[in-house]
């Protein structure tokens, strides 16, 4: 009987990608996915360390899983428990100490060793199943090395299809060392996969039905991989190559970028490459130069404004998204106002804003002048209200327009399909199921807060299907 694997993923899209790779690695060992942790023979928590709240979830979830495991043991079954991802990397030893019966703790750079670790954990589990009544022991394996070999060279060729929209990691790690951020410590130094490996994976994804690929990296536009000709290629060259070599790949996105690496070649690609979608997530963090400097962002507010100006000159409909940290140590009212001003000037289609969370081992956590919680709350509320208003205004402006929607899957209501606009807006429309994987011209008729509703635009092939009202 197939063994069951449950993976819970926290954090960023890179973790989502990694979770899928771990599932691919365990499939040859007979593991199939389950949605139910209480029924799983193996559970992996793929964790995130970016803010305190994200990190704490690991320990509370582990508590629940261990209780479930005890129940399963009483029924003569067992569960292998593994913690992967950035909390494992940052707090591996602490997890081993606080959770003595854990089986596997592995960092983001060693998950290609998972099959071997699972084989050892399985032997340990069989032993403890034969030891009923004796004190319980986990396999207790910890691997948070940054190995010399690249895990990407060890991934299986076979992989479960991701669907119409797929993720592809092309770069990992970060050398920027923003003073608030754990990523350079949890993911390690910047690394770019060679172009040939990326092209092989992209072709496989498209052969499996993907029409859109999002290229992933912690610092994706710092990409500098070995090109087909042996020279070092930047992101723009890679994107152009993929667009040229894979005709069925209709949409390309990339995330997450850093303003410093937004070079002219990449900006130009937004103007002349139709496959590159008019949506860019470009975190700015703050609008105050003083705070940006203390964050070691190595750019100013005006530097960011200039990039946006150039991009919008070439691609006027470009939708922007960003990240903001509210209440970085020393942030004054004037600094906060500078952030508000920048947001008002630029106008974002969507955004993420977070209260500053001091992370152990990062320089900013040591700074005096931490901003009081109540001040942070008030500032966060103001920023979030502003960003929310911009999001609603952006979506509202789409009403009445015709937009090409890449249909991804069935929606909640019968007969309804769901897809995304080029600007990453979710769009619902009544369409035949065969439209999955197609780009359909949709007339947007309705705004449902975060998503849009519409119907096939007149004259478009799909509009010959019976039209129904939007539910």
Q: Nearer Cβ to ligand SAH, position 180 or 254?
A: 180
Contact stretch for ligand SF4 (CB under 6 A) within 118-126, 169-177, 299-307, 409-417 = 169-177
* In the complex, least distance from residue 56 CB atom to ligand SAH, rounded to whole angstroms: 14
Asked if 85 is part of the footprint of ligand F3S (rule: CB under 6 A), the reply reads yes
Give dist(CA 374, CA 325) in Å, integer.
15
Q: Which is nearer to ligand SF4, 6 or 254 (CB)?
A: 254
Specify whether the CB–CB gap between 156 and 24 falls below 8 A.
yes
Per-residue mark of binding to ligand F3S, 24-63 (x: CB under 6 A): ------------------------xxx-------------
Name which of residues 223 to 242 contact ligand SF4 (CB under 6 A).
Answer: none
Position 299 contacts ligand SF4 (CB under 6 A): no
Contacts (CB under 6 A) with ligand SAH, residues 89-128: none
Q: Does 256 sit behind a cis peptide bond, omega within 30 degrees of 0 on the bond before it?
A: yes
How many residues bind to ligand SF4 according to rule CB under 6 A? 10
- Residue count, binding to ligand F3S (CB under 6 A): 14
Does residue number 15 form part of the binding site for ligand F3S (CB under 6 A)? yes
Binding span for ligand SF4 by CB under 6 A among 8-16, 162-170, 179-187, 436-444 = 179-187
Of 315-344, which residues contact ligand SAH (CB under 6 A)? 323, 325
Q: What does the alpha-carbon distance between residue 436 and residue 133 come to, in Å, rounded to a whole number?
A: 53
49 contact, one of ligand SAH, ligand F3S, ligand SF4, none, CB 5-8 Å limit per kind: ligand F3S
Which string of x and - marks every residue 116-155 that binds ligand SF4 (by CB under 6 A)? Answer: ----------------------------------------
User: Given candidates 256, 275, 339, 438, which one binds ligand SAH under the rule CB under 6 A?
Assistant: 256
Q: Which does 359 bind (CB under 5 to 8 A by kind): ligand SAH, ligand SF4, ligand F3S, none?
A: ligand SAH
Answer with the entry of ligand F3S, ligand SAH, ligand SF4, none that 323 interacts with (C-beta below 5 to 8 A by kind).
Answer: ligand SAH
**Size of interface with ligand SAH, in residues (CB under 6 A):** 17
Q: According to CB under 6 A, which one of 11, 278, 283, 287 is a site residue for ligand F3S?
A: 11
Specify whether the CB–CB gap between 263 and 256 falls below 8 A: no
| Minimum CB–partner distance for residue 168 and ligand SAH (Å) | 17
Give, as ranges, the residues between 278 and 317 that touch ligand SAH (CB under 6 A). Answer: 283, 285
Q: Smallest distance, Å, CB 186 to ligand F3S?
A: 5
Give the Cα separation of 49 and 185 in Å (integer).
Answer: 10
- Compute the least distance from the CB of residue 400 to ligand F3S, in Å: 37
Task: Provide the minimum distance between the beta carbon of 39 and ligand SF4 in the complex, in angstroms, as a whole number.
Answer: 36
- State yes or no: residue 192 binds ligand SAH (CB under 6 A): no
- Choose from ligand SAH, ligand SF4, ligand F3S, none: what does 85 bind? Cβ within 5-8 Å by kind: ligand F3S
> Count of alpha carbons within 13 Å of 141, Cβ hemisphere only?
26
Select from ligand F3S, ligand SAH, ligand SF4, none the partner in contact with residue 354, using the beta carbon and a kind-dependent cut-off of 5 to 8 Å.
ligand SAH
Distance CA 82, CA 84 (A): 6
Give min distance, CB of 260 to ligand SF4, in A. Answer: 8
Is position 356 an interface residue for ligand SAH (rule: CB under 6 A)? yes
Q: What is the 3-state secondary structure (H, E, C) of the chain?
A: CCEEEEEEECCCHHHHHHHHHHHHHHHHHCEEECCCHHHCCEEEEEECCCCHHHHHHHHHHHHHHHHHHHHHHHCCCCCEEEEEHHHHHHHHHHHHHHCCCCCEEECCCCHHHHHHHHHHHHHHHHHHHCCCCCCCCCCCEEECCCCCCCHHHHCCCCCCCCCCEEEEECEECCCCCCCCCCHHHHCCCCEECCHHHHHHHHHHHHHCCCCEEEEECCCHHHCCEECCCCCEECHHHHHHHHHHHCCCCCEEEEECCCHHHCCHHHHHHHHHCCCECCEEECCCECCCHHHHHHCCCCCCHHHHHHHHHHHHHHCCCCEEEEEEEECCCCCCHHHHHHHHHHHHHHCCCEEEEEECCCCCCCHHHHCCCCCCHHHHHHHHHHHHHHHHHHHHHHHHCCCCCEEEEEEEEECCCCCEEEEECCCCCEEEEECCHHHCCCEEEEEEEEEECCEEEEEECCCCHHHHCCCCCCC
- Contacted entry of ligand F3S, ligand SF4, ligand SAH, none for residue 436, CB cut-off 5 to 8 Å set by kind: none
Alpha carbon separation from 352 to 96, 281, 312, 399 (Å, rounded)? 33, 10, 21, 24
The residues binding ligand F3S (CB under 6 A) are 11-12, 14-15, 48-50, 85-86, 182-183, 186-187, 218
The residues binding ligand SF4 (CB under 6 A) are 174, 176-178, 181, 183-184, 218-219, 258
């Amino acid at each position: 009987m197939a063994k069951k694997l449950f993976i819970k993923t926290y954090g960023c899209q890179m973790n989502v990608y990694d979770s899928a790779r771990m599932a691919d690695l365990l499939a040859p060992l007979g593991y199939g996915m389950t949605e139910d942790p209480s029924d799983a023979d193996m559970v992996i928590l793929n964790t995130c360390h970016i803010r305190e709240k994200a990190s704490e979830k690991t320990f509370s979830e582990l508590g629940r899983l261990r209780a479930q495991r005890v129940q399963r043991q009483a029924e003569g079954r067992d569960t292998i428990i593994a913690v992967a991802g950035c909390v494992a990397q940052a707090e591996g030893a602490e997890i081993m100490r606080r959770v003595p019966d854990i089986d596997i703790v592995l960092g983001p750079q060693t998950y290609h060793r998972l099959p071997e670790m699972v084989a050892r954990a399985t032997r340990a589990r069989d032993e403890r199943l034969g030891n009923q009544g004796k004190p319980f022991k986990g396999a207790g394996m910890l691997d948070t090395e940054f190995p010399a070999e690249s895990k990407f060279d060890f991934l299986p060729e076979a992989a479960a299809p991701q669907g119409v929209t797929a993720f592809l990691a092309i770069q990992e790690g970060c050398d920027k060392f923003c003073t608030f951020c754990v990523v350079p410590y949890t993911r390690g130094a910047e690394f770019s996969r060679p172009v040939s490996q990326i092209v092989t994976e992209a072709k496989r994804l498209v052969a499996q039905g993907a029409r859109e690929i999002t290229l992933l990296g912690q610092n994706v536009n710092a990409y500098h991989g070995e090109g087909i000709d042996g020279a070092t290629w930047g992101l723009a060259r890679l994107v152009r190559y993929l667009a040229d070599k894979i005709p069925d790949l209709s949409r390309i996105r990339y995330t997450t970028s850093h303003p410093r690496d937004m070079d002219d070649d990449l900006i130009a690609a937004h103007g002349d490459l139709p496959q590159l979608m008019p949506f860019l997530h470009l975190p700015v963090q703050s609008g105050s130069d003083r705070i940006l400097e203390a964050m070691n962002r190595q750019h100013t507010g005006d530097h960011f404004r200039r990039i946006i100006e150039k991009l919008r000159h070439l691609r006027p409909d470009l939708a922007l998204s960003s990240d903001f940290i509210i209440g970085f140590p020393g942030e004054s009212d004037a600094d906060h106002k500078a952030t508000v001003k920048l947001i008002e000037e630029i106008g974002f289609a969507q955004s993420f804003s977070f209260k500053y969370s001091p992370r152990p081992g990062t320089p900013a956590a040591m700074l005096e002048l931490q901003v009081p919680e109540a001040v942070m709350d008030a500032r966060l509320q103001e920023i979030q209200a502003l960003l929310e208003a911009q999001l609603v205004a952006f979506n509202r402006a789409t009403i009445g327009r015709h937009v090409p929607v890449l249909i991804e899957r069935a929606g909640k209501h019968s007969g309804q399909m769901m897809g995304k606009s080029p600007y990453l807006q979710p769009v619902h429309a009544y369409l035949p199921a065969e439209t999955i994987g197609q780009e359909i011209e949709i007339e947007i008729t309705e705004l449902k807060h975060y998503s849009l509703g519409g119907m096939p635009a007149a004259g478009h092939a799909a509009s010959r299907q019976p039209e129904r009202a939007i539910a």
